[in-house]
Amino acid sequence: MSQQPTTTTSSRDQFRSRIGFIFAAAGSAVGLGNIWRFPYLAGVHGGGAFVIVYLLSVLIIGFSLMLMEFALGRNTSLAAVGAFRTLNKKFTFVGIMGVLAGFLIMGFYPVVGGWSLSYIFKTITGELAVTDPDTLTGVFMGLITGTWAPIFWTAIYMILNIVIVAGGIGNGIEKASKVMMPALFVLLVILVVRSVTLPGAGEGLAFLFAPDWSKLSGGLVLAAMGQAFFSLSLGMGCMITYSSYLSKNENLVSNAFIIPGMDTLVALLAGLVIVPSAVALGFEVGSGAGLAFITVPAIFATMGPVVGKFFGIVFFTLLALAALTSSISLLEVVVSYLIDEKNMSRKNAVGITSVILFIMCIAASLSMGPWSGFTILGNNIFDFFDKTTSLILLPLGGMFISIFIGWFWGKDKAFKEVTNDGTVKFSLFNTWFFLCRWIIPIIIFIVFITGISSFPG
């Protein structure tokens, strides 16, 4: 790819370097899903059993599906919808489902991005410099159930997205990811050390890793599998879209190992930061969506006012940046659909999409407070967007992608694409293809059927 610099005359951008793609794809994967969603879901679902099913999902489905999406995107040089339309018209709906999923995720994700931004400022003002669970819970609830404050921060967050995505692939996404990822990683490692050395953290570690199988249910398995899709940005054509910007000599196989590997490592680190410290400091681990926002400030408070404030500012800034590198990929799915399929200019596509998404985010934000009485199938608007994507659209999207590769695209074409015409060694090809054809669609189908009754809130 380094041989093919981006030119202003080519209609499609390309990533400027191999490492640029890895950072961008990992940037898409690593986000609020890892740091906000994974620890709180692990807490809600009773710890170890959820974590183990999550890890199994990454292992059995995540790596393989990542490779499938890379292959489809690079083969066609088209985003999700276009990729399927060109390869087999009957599967165009999978791409459309993906665009819809991107849309719905972007209907609540920026709200949480906004919370992160607001927490940078709350750290600066010293409002969070306490370890008391009730105070920190009160601050968090005060923010999310409010009317204007969360909408204001969501707006700031959306503007940051728009600026990056409107700048195009090479300029915006790549640069943002390169700086943020290593910094985030280093900070998480520091925080893990702090968290697991707190007195009483051992119990939290046991909660996180020692499974209590009595917690196992269809709902838990679907939630854990859905979290794997969400965290790896899979099942909605996001990785198809990113790899459509990828050159023909890139090694897809190694990327499909590195990226899920990094993402899972970050999720585990975040779990190790948040869960043991929550237990050690007396927070309710099953308290739900606020877990990261109420426990992390307490960890910083234990570090003393100056050091704590410094780390707090760095943490929430990195969290917001990690969220940004994910949401720009979500926005990119919708935007590249409009560019490729509807011939819109990038600027128009970004503009129109952002306005609609912002309205959805306002509704999602208000559904935590003033509009909490309004529910769809027992869920408020925020949870409805969240569950519709992670429990329905992403798993089914992944299932159809798998069926497409295993049954319609065919072994020869798949082999040629993933091995760059036989030049890349991939000794597990047959295993991978067998997983695509049989195992993955069947597993997803069974998990979906047994777990979907957990959808109503």
Residues in contact with ligand PHE by CB under 6 A are: 28-29, 31-34, 105, 230-231, 233, 236, 238, 326, 329-330
Nearer to ligand PHE, 29 or 366 (CB): 29
Nearer to ligand PHE, 144 or 328 (CB): 328
Question: CA 21 to CA 35: how far, in whole Å?
Answer: 22
Q: How far is the CB of 109 from ligand PHE (least distance, A)?
A: 7
Q: How far is the CB of 436 from ligand PHE (least distance, A)?
A: 20
Q: How far is the CB of 126 from ligand PHE (least distance, A)?
A: 29
Nearer to ligand PHE, 238 or 281 (CB): 238
Q: How far is the CB of 386 from ligand PHE (least distance, A)?
A: 11
Nearer to ligand PHE, 77 or 231 (CB): 231
Question: CA 35 to CA 231: how far, in whole Å?
Answer: 10
Is the separation of the CB atoms in 392 and 199 below 8 Å? no
Q: How far is the CB of 116 from ligand PHE (least distance, A)?
A: 11
The residue with tokens 């890892």 is 34
Nearer to ligand PHE, 253 or 266 (CB): 266
Is the separation of the CB atoms in 432 and 67 below 8 Å? yes
Residue nearest to ligand PHE (CB): 33
Q: How far is the CB of 298 from ligand PHE (least distance, A)?
A: 23
Nearer to ligand PHE, 242 or 409 (CB): 242
Instruction: Please give the single-letter amino acid code of residue 375.
Output: T
